[in-house]
Structure 1
Amino acid sequence: MTGRSILLASALAFCLTTTVSAYAQGVLPGAKNGAEQGNDAAGPVGGVVGGAVGAVTGGINGLIGIKEKPRFKQYVIEQHPQSFRYADPVTVGSVLPSGGVQYYEVPAEYGHVNYRYAVVNDEVVLVDPSTRQIVQIVQ
Structure 2
Amino acid sequence: MRVIFSAALLATVALPLGAHAQTAHEAAGAGAGLATGAVAGAIVGGPVGAAIGGAIGAIAGGTLSGPQTARVQQYVVTQGTPSAYVQDQVVVGTPMPRTVSSYPVPADVGVNTQHQYSVLNERTVLVDPQTRRVIQVID
TM range (shorter): 0.5 to 0.7
Alpha-carbon distance in structure 2 between the residues aligned to 1:123 and 1:136: 10
Shift of 1:60: 8.9
* Count of matched residue pairs: 93
Alpha-carbon distance in structure 2 between the residues aligned to 1:124 and 1:62: 17
Which residue in 1 is equivalent to 2:77? 77
1:26 partner letter: Q
Which residue in 2 is equivalent to 1:67? 67
Q: How well do the aligned residues superpose, as a CA RMSD in angstroms?
A: 2.8
Q: Which of 23, 26, 29 pairs up with 2:22?
A: 26
Return closer, same or farther for 1:93/1:60 CA change in 2, 3 Å cut-off: closer
Is residue 97 from structure 1 mapped to residue 97 from structure 2 by the alignment? yes
Mapping 1:1-139, distance limit 5 Å: 26-30=22-26, 62-99=62-99, 101-108=100-107, 109-139=109-139
- Superposed CA offset, 1:65-118 (max 9, x none): 22221222111100001110111100101111112x121111224332121100
% identical equivalent positions: 32
| 24-33 or 127-136: bigger deviation | 24-33
Return closer, same or farther for 1:138/1:129 CA change in 2, 3 Å cut-off: same
For residue 125 of structure 2, give the secondary structure of its aligned residue in structure 1. Answer: strand
- Superposed CA offset, 1:21-53 (max 9, x none): x7x95343436779xxxxxxxxxxxxxxxxxxx
2:138 partner letter: V
Alpha-carbon distance in structure 1 between the residues aligned to 2:93 and 2:116: 15
1:62–1:113 CA contact under 8 A, matched in 2: no
For residue 78 of structure 1, give the secondary structure of its aligned residue in structure 2. Answer: helix
Any unmatched runs of 5+ in structure 1?
1-21, 35-56
Alpha-carbon distance in structure 2 between the residues aligned to 1:77 and 1:29: 24
1:119–1:125 CA contact under 8 A, matched in 2: yes
Return closer, same or farther for 1:132/1:32 CA change in 2, 3 Å cut-off: closer
1:118–1:127 CA contact under 8 A, matched in 2: yes
For residue 66 of structure 2, give the secondary structure of its aligned residue in structure 1. Answer: coil
Alpha-carbon distance in structure 2 between the residues aligned to 1:78 and 1:97: 24
2:29–2:61 CA contact under 8 A, matched in 1: no
